[in-house]
Structure 1
Amino acid sequence: SDQYSLAVMYQELLTGTRPFSGRTIAQLATQHIHAAPALDSLPAADRVAVARALEKDPERRFECCKDFVEALRTTRGRDEAVIHTSTKSSVRTRQEAVEDLPSLKSGKAMVHARVTGHALVVAVGGVGAECLHELRNRVATLHSACPLDLHSVLIDTDMHTIHAARLAEASDRIPPATILHTPLKSAQQYREGRTDHFRSLSRRWIYNVPRSGTTEGMRPLGRLAMVDHAKSIDSGLRESIDHLAAVCGDRVPSVYIIGSLSGGTASGMVMDLAPRIRTLLDEAGLESASVLPLLSTVSLQGNPHQPLTLHDSFAAISEIGHYMLPENSYPGDPGVQWSGVPASRNPLRNAYVVVDGDHALPHSGSSAATMVDYLWADAT
């Protein structure tokens, strides 16, 4: 409770605002129990530590107040402006230099260099690969006129998808991607190998992998593949994020996760990948970069011939609903050494779910096309 109180006091002393805005004891009590803290007034680098200190579950806070203070000491972005709010006006503590714009008559007005936005797209599964293929083609078509610097990671269990993505890179105009193949092993291989990192999975799934070696649309098998390849996934994501941080300079990049909740791979991986990407961005100094999951699902009206897709979609949406509650932070996975993430920092809270070809909606088309159009517009 001392650490929790210290976090509230720290934000108020630094910014003049509190993480909870209630005016009465009853309002504050309700917000402390049921509401996520409002940390937007803090510098982005401070939000990571303060969010952890304000976790609803005391077990998920720092071990002690000293650890919390040390986390605040070592954060980046100390020169970042702190936004102070009052009832009259918003004032920034740091004065910005003012420069005259170039005269419209001067040659400086003719700017030939393109304005570039930086985006990292983490595509998971077949639908993710389909979206990434379209995005890379758009970049290749625009070539030097493209307003987007596209960085991407593709993760899939299906070798056909991986092979198609690698073939696309034969063109010099196609921006390269980090391609991660995460195949399932046979049940026999799992029996004979180490299984201590599978502690968060039921052994039923470890020892009952289909002979096809694919997820066959079962989301627990997608998560099995993710845990089994966690080290290579982590390495590929970390390398891509570090490269993004190095090239984007002062610009804040956009980060997206795209995939389908109705299949096995993305539906089984996204719940862990989203908070893990948040952690890696924070470690790379990109605390202010937002992560936007764009997730498709089959029509929820149901198809009796494809019951598994509905089961996957329902389970995934229920799990996202769980993580939207302020008291339910991502617990991490000790088996693969992935740390927990406070509920207020979990990107799943901001996810969009796009229904594929919902007949109840006029002019609704492919969810993949919708996600690509939205991502492109948002990033540029």
Structure 2
Amino acid sequence: MQDGAQDGAQDGQARPEDRRQSGAPLIPAYVLGCGGAGIACVREAKERIATFLGAPRPDGRDEPELPDLLQFHGLDTVPWSSSEGVARLRPSEYTPPGGFNAGMVIDTMRRSQDTEGRARRYREIQRWWDSDIDPGVVSQGARQIRPIGRLAFYYGFRQFQRAFHDKLDRLRGIAAREEAERQGYEVLARTGEMKVYVITSLCGGTGSGMFMDVAAWVRHVLQDQARLVAVLLMPSVFTLAIDADVQR
């Protein structure tokens, strides 16, 4: 054992490079954040996992290179941005189901109604859309209005579906497991087994509006092939943050 590794062992803290060399435990996981708060949590999780595993950061970038057995994905109604700070999400890790005129979608649905009031276009929306809402163009969030978040997921579903399956294929592939083992990780699951984390707050419009549809669809796709875990941020989380800001 090297002197640095000995020092780390003496103070009870194994260094990241030592964890990898000794077979750091790795459970295949898909971490999906919905809305701004959900994505913030995904970025923080990515940063902490990368630090714990000692993942390399080529050229000092904020994008650590993690095994394909770990997939990170953000879903939000604002455009992707390369904001600095904790680990970034790459454009390929981000799906923005926004940038569309939601008002036109609702108008089309209303104009297509037959004599009995049943919509012939976007019929699925009619069952739950609140007629008092004027959604406008969805490009900078859902304005804390849940039906707008749900509408965005409905409208951008195909885009999300393609991204989800692409990441799922990489995560579940034999090549991903072999690559992780070559890098020194100990994979604690049989091939194909994994966990899926869906993270969102229940306070805004985007994440809380689409969460149930996202979770139901993921369960439909994976059935019993994955453990689905919901991480839900309650209002108290934001109350504590606001109180802390006020005290500064």
Structure-1 residue corresponding to 2:184: none
Question: Partners of 2:90 and 2:123 in 1: how far apart?
Answer: 38
Matches within 5 A, 1:186-205: 186-190=101-105, 191-192=107-108, 195-202=122-129, 204=131
Counterpart residue identity of residue 97, structure 2: T
Counterpart residue identity of residue 197, structure 2: Y
TM-score (norm 2): 0.62
Counterpart residue identity of residue 41, structure 2: C
Q: CA deviation at 1:244?
A: 1.9
- Given candidates 150, 156, 164, the residue that maps to 2:70 is 150
TM-aligned CA distance change 1:221 to 1:267, over 3 Å: same
Determine if contact 1:259/1:295 at 8 Å carries over to the other structure: yes
How many residues end up aligned between the 2 structures?
A: 187
Structure-2 residue corresponding to 1:209: 135
Question: Partners of 1:139 and 1:271 in 2: how far apart?
Answer: 27
Structure-2 residue corresponding to 1:164: 82
Q: Which runs of 5 or more structure 2 residues have no equivalent in the other structure?
A: 1-20, 57-64, 110-120, 178-188
TM-aligned CA distance change 1:188 to 1:260, over 3 Å: closer
Question: Partners of 1:189 and 1:175 in 2: how far apart?
Answer: 31
Structure-2 residue corresponding to 1:65: none
Q: What secondary structure does 1:280 align onto?
A: helix
With CA pairs under 8 Å and 6+ residues apart, which has the higher RCO, 1 or 2? 2
TM-aligned CA distance change 1:234 to 1:148, over 3 Å: closer
Matches within 5 A, 1:311-350: none
- Given candidates 180, 184, 190, the residue that maps to 1:250 is 190
Structure-2 residue corresponding to 1:236: 163
Determine if contact 2:33/2:199 at 8 Å carries over to the other structure: yes
Q: CA deviation at 1:358?
A: 5.5
Counterpart residue identity of residue 292, structure 1: V
Counterpart residue identity of residue 158, structure 1: V
Q: CA deviation at 1:146?
A: 7.7
Question: Partners of 2:103 and 2:146 in 1: how far apart?
Answer: 20
Q: Deviations over 1:6-35 (max 9, x none)?
A: xxxxxxxxxxxxxxxxxxxxxxxxxxxxxx
TM-aligned CA distance change 1:169 to 1:281, over 3 Å: farther
Structure-2 residue corresponding to 1:122: 32
Q: What secondary structure does 1:164 align onto?
A: coil
Structure-1 residue corresponding to 2:116: none
Structure-2 residue corresponding to 1:293: 230
Structure-2 residue corresponding to 1:178: 93
Q: CA deviation at 1:169?
A: 11
1:269 pairs with 2:210: yes
TM-score (norm 1): 0.42
TM-aligned CA distance change 1:258 to 1:177, over 3 Å: farther
Q: CA deviation at 1:184?
A: 5.4
Determine if contact 1:139/1:175 at 8 Å carries over to the other structure: no
TM-aligned CA distance change 1:212 to 1:146, over 3 Å: closer
Q: Which runs of 5 or more structure 1 residues have no equivalent in the other structure?
A: 1-110, 300-354, 366-380
1:223 pairs with 2:165: no
- Given candidates 281, 290, 299, the residue that maps to 2:222 is 281
Counterpart residue identity of residue 149, structure 2: G
Structure (1 or 2) with the greater strand fraction: 2
